[in-house]
Structure 1
Amino acid sequence: MDKETYRFMCPAGIASLSFLFSGKALQWLCGTTKDDDGRETSNFILFGDLLARMVPAAGECKGFRRPLALSAGQAQYSEEQLSDRWNMGRKRIRNLLATLTDLGLIDTCRSRVASVMTFPCLRGWETADGIISNPFIHSEQREK
Protein backbone atom coordinates (compact mmCIF):
# COMPACT_ATOMS: atom_id res chain seq x y z
CA MET A 1 0.00 0.00 0.00
CA ASP A 2 1.41 3.38 -0.88
CA LYS A 3 1.82 6.16 1.67
CA GLU A 4 -1.01 8.29 0.23
CA THR A 5 -3.55 5.44 0.44
CA TYR A 6 -2.45 4.72 4.01
CA ARG A 7 -2.89 8.37 4.98
CA PHE A 8 -6.39 8.36 3.45
CA MET A 9 -7.55 5.34 5.46
CA CYS A 10 -5.78 6.08 8.71
CA PRO A 11 -7.63 8.15 11.31
CA ALA A 12 -5.91 11.38 12.37
CA GLY A 13 -3.35 10.91 15.14
CA ILE A 14 -2.64 7.24 14.37
CA ALA A 15 0.86 6.20 13.31
CA SER A 16 0.09 2.54 12.51
CA LEU A 17 -2.73 -0.02 12.53
CA SER A 18 -2.71 -3.77 13.16
CA PHE A 19 -5.41 -5.91 11.49
CA LEU A 20 -6.51 -9.53 11.48
CA PHE A 21 -8.44 -10.35 8.28
CA SER A 22 -10.10 -13.62 7.32
CA GLY A 23 -9.33 -14.97 3.86
CA LYS A 24 -12.83 -14.03 2.68
CA ALA A 25 -12.47 -10.50 4.06
CA LEU A 26 -9.11 -10.03 2.37
CA GLN A 27 -10.50 -11.35 -0.91
CA TRP A 28 -13.41 -8.89 -0.69
CA LEU A 29 -11.08 -5.98 0.15
CA CYS A 30 -9.08 -6.74 -3.01
CA GLY A 31 -12.24 -6.44 -5.15
CA THR A 32 -14.26 -3.48 -6.37
CA THR A 33 -17.79 -2.11 -6.04
CA LYS A 34 -19.65 -0.15 -8.72
CA ASP A 35 -21.42 3.08 -7.85
CA ASP A 36 -24.74 4.21 -9.34
CA ASP A 37 -22.93 5.56 -12.42
CA GLY A 38 -21.11 2.28 -13.05
CA ARG A 39 -17.71 3.53 -11.85
CA GLU A 40 -15.68 0.98 -9.91
CA THR A 41 -14.14 1.83 -6.58
CA SER A 42 -11.71 -0.37 -4.66
CA ASN A 43 -13.38 -2.05 -1.70
CA PHE A 44 -10.22 -1.31 0.24
CA ILE A 45 -10.81 2.42 -0.36
CA LEU A 46 -14.44 2.13 0.83
CA PHE A 47 -13.33 0.30 3.98
CA GLY A 48 -10.57 2.89 4.49
CA ASP A 49 -13.09 5.71 4.23
CA LEU A 50 -15.08 4.13 7.07
CA LEU A 51 -11.95 3.50 9.10
CA ALA A 52 -10.82 7.12 8.71
CA ARG A 53 -13.91 8.12 10.73
CA MET A 54 -12.78 6.13 13.78
CA VAL A 55 -11.75 8.04 16.90
CA PRO A 56 -8.41 6.87 18.36
CA ALA A 57 -9.33 8.07 21.86
CA ALA A 58 -12.61 8.53 23.69
CA GLY A 59 -14.25 11.87 23.03
CA GLU A 60 -17.13 13.74 21.53
CA CYS A 61 -17.90 13.47 17.83
CA LYS A 62 -19.27 16.75 16.49
CA GLY A 63 -19.61 15.98 12.78
CA PHE A 64 -23.35 15.35 12.96
CA ARG A 65 -26.46 17.17 14.14
CA ARG A 66 -26.05 16.03 17.73
CA PRO A 67 -22.69 15.62 19.45
CA LEU A 68 -22.12 12.02 20.51
CA ALA A 69 -19.66 10.57 23.02
CA LEU A 70 -17.66 7.83 21.33
CA SER A 71 -15.25 5.31 22.83
CA ALA A 72 -11.82 4.75 21.33
CA GLY A 73 -12.28 2.54 18.27
CA GLN A 74 -15.78 3.73 17.36
CA ALA A 75 -16.98 5.80 14.42
CA GLN A 76 -20.27 7.59 13.89
CA TYR A 77 -21.77 7.22 10.43
CA SER A 78 -24.87 8.03 8.42
CA GLU A 79 -26.21 5.89 5.60
CA GLU A 80 -27.40 9.08 3.94
CA GLN A 81 -23.92 10.65 4.06
CA LEU A 82 -22.30 7.45 2.78
CA SER A 83 -24.89 7.33 0.00
CA ASP A 84 -23.99 10.86 -1.11
CA ARG A 85 -20.24 10.38 -0.69
CA TRP A 86 -20.08 7.04 -2.50
CA ASN A 87 -22.81 7.78 -5.08
CA MET A 88 -24.88 4.73 -4.12
CA GLY A 89 -28.49 4.36 -3.03
CA ARG A 90 -29.22 3.86 0.69
CA LYS A 91 -30.40 0.29 0.16
CA ARG A 92 -27.10 -0.49 -1.54
CA ILE A 93 -25.20 1.17 1.32
CA ARG A 94 -27.18 -0.91 3.83
CA ASN A 95 -26.34 -4.09 1.87
CA LEU A 96 -22.68 -3.09 1.67
CA LEU A 97 -22.54 -2.50 5.44
CA ALA A 98 -24.20 -5.90 5.96
CA THR A 99 -21.51 -7.52 3.81
CA LEU A 100 -18.77 -5.79 5.83
CA THR A 101 -20.44 -7.04 9.01
CA ASP A 102 -20.73 -10.61 7.69
CA LEU A 103 -17.02 -10.55 6.81
CA GLY A 104 -16.09 -9.40 10.33
CA LEU A 105 -14.71 -6.05 9.15
CA ILE A 106 -17.23 -3.89 11.03
CA ASP A 107 -20.00 -4.12 13.59
CA THR A 108 -22.82 -1.58 13.57
CA CYS A 109 -25.29 -0.34 16.14
CA ARG A 110 -28.15 1.87 15.00
CA SER A 111 -30.37 3.84 17.32
CA ARG A 112 -32.70 6.82 17.10
CA VAL A 113 -29.85 9.09 18.15
CA ALA A 114 -26.96 7.81 16.06
CA SER A 115 -25.40 5.01 14.07
CA VAL A 116 -22.07 3.84 15.39
CA MET A 117 -19.63 1.30 13.97
CA THR A 118 -16.67 -0.55 15.39
CA PHE A 119 -13.89 -2.46 13.64
CA PRO A 120 -13.51 -5.96 15.13
CA CYS A 121 -10.81 -6.82 12.55
CA LEU A 122 -8.59 -4.07 13.98
CA ARG A 123 -6.35 -5.50 16.68
CA GLY A 124 -4.99 -2.13 17.76
CA TRP A 125 -3.29 1.09 16.77
CA GLU A 126 -0.31 3.20 17.69
CA THR A 127 -0.49 6.87 18.62
CA ALA A 128 2.06 9.27 20.06
CA ASP A 129 0.90 8.05 23.49
CA GLY A 130 1.66 4.40 22.74
CA ILE A 131 -0.06 1.25 21.54
CA ILE A 132 -3.81 0.89 22.14
CA SER A 133 -5.62 -2.46 21.95
CA ASN A 134 -9.00 -2.36 20.27
CA PRO A 135 -11.68 -2.88 22.94
CA PHE A 136 -14.13 -4.00 20.23
CA ILE A 137 -12.14 -6.88 18.75
CA HIS A 138 -14.05 -10.16 18.84
CA SER A 139 -12.94 -12.53 21.60
CA GLU A 140 -12.00 -15.33 19.15
CA GLN A 141 -9.65 -12.88 17.40
CA ARG A 142 -7.96 -11.96 20.70
CA GLU A 143 -6.88 -15.57 21.21
CA LYS A 144 -4.99 -15.83 17.89
Structure 2
Amino acid sequence: MNKETYRFMYPAGIASLSLVFSQKALQWLYGTTRDDDGRETVNSILFGDLLARMAFTAGEGKGFRRPLTLSAGQTQYSEEQLSAQWNMGRKRIRNLLSALTGMGLIDTNRSRVASVMTFPCIRGWTTADGTFIPNPFTNEQREE
Protein backbone atom coordinates (compact mmCIF):
# COMPACT_ATOMS: atom_id res chain seq x y z
CA MET A 1 0.00 0.00 0.00
CA ASN A 2 1.27 3.38 -0.90
CA LYS A 3 0.72 6.05 1.74
CA GLU A 4 0.48 8.75 -0.91
CA THR A 5 -2.57 7.13 -2.51
CA TYR A 6 -4.35 6.00 0.67
CA ARG A 7 -7.40 7.89 1.83
CA PHE A 8 -10.10 6.39 4.01
CA MET A 9 -13.46 6.82 2.32
CA TYR A 10 -16.65 6.40 4.28
CA PRO A 11 -19.24 4.17 2.64
CA ALA A 12 -22.30 5.86 1.18
CA GLY A 13 -24.58 7.07 3.95
CA ILE A 14 -21.88 7.22 6.66
CA ALA A 15 -20.78 10.68 7.81
CA SER A 16 -18.31 9.86 10.60
CA LEU A 17 -16.87 7.29 13.00
CA SER A 18 -16.42 7.74 16.75
CA LEU A 19 -13.25 5.94 17.91
CA VAL A 20 -11.43 5.60 21.23
CA PHE A 21 -7.75 4.62 21.33
CA SER A 22 -5.46 3.74 24.23
CA GLN A 23 -2.11 5.53 24.43
CA LYS A 24 -0.38 2.36 23.25
CA ALA A 25 -2.72 2.08 20.25
CA LEU A 26 -2.11 5.72 19.29
CA GLN A 27 1.64 5.19 19.43
CA TRP A 28 1.32 2.12 17.21
CA LEU A 29 -0.93 3.92 14.71
CA TYR A 30 1.75 6.59 14.21
CA GLY A 31 4.49 3.98 13.73
CA THR A 32 5.39 1.93 10.66
CA THR A 33 5.55 -1.73 9.65
CA ARG A 34 7.90 -3.22 7.05
CA ASP A 35 6.61 -5.65 4.45
CA ASP A 36 8.57 -8.66 3.17
CA ASP A 37 10.44 -6.43 0.69
CA GLY A 38 11.52 -3.98 3.41
CA ARG A 39 9.09 -1.22 2.39
CA GLU A 40 7.57 0.71 5.29
CA THR A 41 3.86 1.40 5.58
CA VAL A 42 2.37 3.72 8.17
CA ASN A 43 0.39 1.56 10.62
CA SER A 44 -2.67 3.82 10.41
CA ILE A 45 -2.90 2.84 6.74
CA LEU A 46 -2.95 -0.85 7.64
CA PHE A 47 -5.62 -0.22 10.28
CA GLY A 48 -7.59 1.96 7.85
CA ASP A 49 -7.54 -0.87 5.33
CA LEU A 50 -9.11 -3.17 7.92
CA LEU A 51 -11.69 -0.50 8.83
CA ALA A 52 -12.63 -0.08 5.18
CA ARG A 53 -13.74 -3.73 5.16
CA MET A 54 -16.19 -3.31 8.07
CA ALA A 55 -19.92 -3.70 7.44
CA PHE A 56 -22.08 -0.79 8.56
CA THR A 57 -25.28 -2.78 8.05
CA ALA A 58 -26.05 -6.47 8.48
CA GLY A 59 -25.47 -8.58 5.38
CA GLU A 60 -23.36 -11.23 3.73
CA GLY A 61 -19.60 -10.95 3.52
CA LYS A 62 -18.29 -10.64 -0.03
CA GLY A 63 -15.30 -12.08 -1.83
CA PHE A 64 -15.08 -15.33 0.12
CA ARG A 65 -15.64 -18.94 -0.83
CA ARG A 66 -17.87 -19.38 2.24
CA PRO A 67 -19.37 -15.94 2.95
CA LEU A 68 -20.94 -15.41 6.37
CA THR A 69 -23.87 -13.29 7.40
CA LEU A 70 -22.26 -10.41 9.27
CA SER A 71 -23.64 -7.92 11.78
CA ALA A 72 -22.94 -4.22 11.51
CA GLY A 73 -19.47 -3.67 12.99
CA GLN A 74 -18.00 -6.92 11.68
CA THR A 75 -15.90 -7.99 8.71
CA GLN A 76 -14.95 -11.38 7.37
CA TYR A 77 -11.22 -11.66 6.74
CA SER A 78 -8.57 -14.09 5.62
CA GLU A 79 -4.97 -14.13 6.84
CA GLU A 80 -4.04 -15.46 3.41
CA GLN A 81 -5.68 -12.50 1.64
CA LEU A 82 -4.11 -9.97 4.02
CA SER A 83 -0.74 -11.68 3.51
CA ALA A 84 -1.00 -11.27 -0.27
CA GLN A 85 -2.37 -7.71 -0.15
CA TRP A 86 0.11 -6.43 2.44
CA ASN A 87 3.09 -8.47 1.15
CA MET A 88 3.75 -10.10 4.53
CA GLY A 89 3.96 -13.76 5.52
CA ARG A 90 0.95 -15.32 7.23
CA LYS A 91 2.83 -15.67 10.52
CA ARG A 92 3.59 -11.92 10.49
CA ILE A 93 -0.07 -11.21 9.71
CA ARG A 94 -1.16 -13.43 12.60
CA ASN A 95 1.31 -11.67 14.94
CA LEU A 96 0.14 -8.25 13.72
CA LEU A 97 -3.53 -9.15 14.29
CA SER A 98 -2.62 -10.45 17.75
CA ALA A 99 -0.88 -7.15 18.56
CA LEU A 100 -3.93 -5.18 17.34
CA THR A 101 -6.12 -7.33 19.57
CA GLY A 102 -3.85 -6.70 22.54
CA MET A 103 -4.18 -2.94 21.99
CA GLY A 104 -7.98 -3.13 21.81
CA LEU A 105 -8.19 -2.09 18.16
CA ILE A 106 -9.71 -5.35 16.91
CA ASP A 107 -11.08 -8.65 18.14
CA THR A 108 -10.92 -11.78 16.01
CA ASN A 109 -12.81 -15.04 16.00
CA ARG A 110 -11.37 -17.78 13.81
CA SER A 111 -13.18 -20.99 12.95
CA ARG A 112 -12.90 -23.76 10.37
CA VAL A 113 -15.52 -21.99 8.25
CA ALA A 114 -14.36 -18.36 8.38
CA SER A 115 -12.64 -15.65 10.38
CA VAL A 116 -14.54 -12.62 11.64
CA MET A 117 -13.09 -9.36 12.94
CA THR A 118 -14.78 -6.70 15.08
CA PHE A 119 -13.57 -3.23 16.06
CA PRO A 120 -14.09 -2.61 19.80
CA CYS A 121 -12.30 0.76 19.50
CA ILE A 122 -15.24 2.11 17.47
CA ARG A 123 -17.95 3.58 19.70
CA GLY A 124 -20.30 3.97 16.74
CA TRP A 125 -20.92 5.82 13.51
CA THR A 126 -23.10 8.67 12.38
CA THR A 127 -25.20 8.29 9.25
CA ALA A 128 -25.62 11.05 6.67
CA ASP A 129 -28.99 11.98 8.26
CA GLY A 130 -27.32 12.51 11.66
CA THR A 131 -28.40 9.26 13.33
CA PHE A 132 -25.78 7.79 15.69
CA ILE A 133 -25.52 3.98 15.50
CA PRO A 134 -23.71 2.46 18.50
CA ASN A 135 -21.22 -0.31 17.71
CA PRO A 136 -22.50 -3.52 19.35
CA PHE A 137 -18.91 -4.77 19.66
CA THR A 138 -17.48 -1.84 21.66
CA ASN A 139 -15.64 -2.53 24.90
CA GLU A 140 -13.91 -0.23 27.35
CA GLN A 141 -10.30 0.66 26.56
CA ARG A 142 -7.79 -0.09 29.30
CA GLU A 143 -4.42 1.53 29.64
CA GLU A 144 -1.47 -0.82 30.11
**Normalized against structure 2, the TM-score is what?**
0.89
**Normalized against structure 1, the TM-score is what?**
0.89
Q: How does 1:1-144 map to 2 (within 5 A)?
A: 5-7=7-9, 10-128=10-128, 130-138=131-139, 140-141=140-141
Kindly provide the amino acid, as one letter, of the partner of residue 131 in structure 1.
Answer: F
1:13 to partner: Cα distance: 3.9
Kindly provide the amino acid, as one letter, of the partner of residue 70 in structure 2.
Answer: L
Kindly provide the amino acid, as one letter, of the partner of residue 57 in structure 2.
Answer: A
**Structure 1 unaligned runs (5+)?**
none
User: 1:65-116 deviations in whole A, cap 9, x for unaligned?
Assistant: 1221000000110000000000000000000000000000000000111100
CA gap of 1:123–1:58, structure 2 versus 1, over 3 A, is: same
1:127 to partner: Cα distance: 1.9
Native 8 Å contact 2:82 2:93 kept in 1: yes
Q: Percent identity, aligned pairs only?
A: 76
**Structure 2 unaligned runs (5+)?**
1-5
Residues in 2 aligned to 1:40 and 1:118: alpha-carbon distance in whole angstroms = 26
Residues in 2 aligned to 1:85 and 1:137: alpha-carbon distance in whole angstroms = 27
1:122 to partner: Cα distance: 0.4
Instruction: Kindly indicate which of the two structures has a greater share of residues assigned to helix.
Output: 1
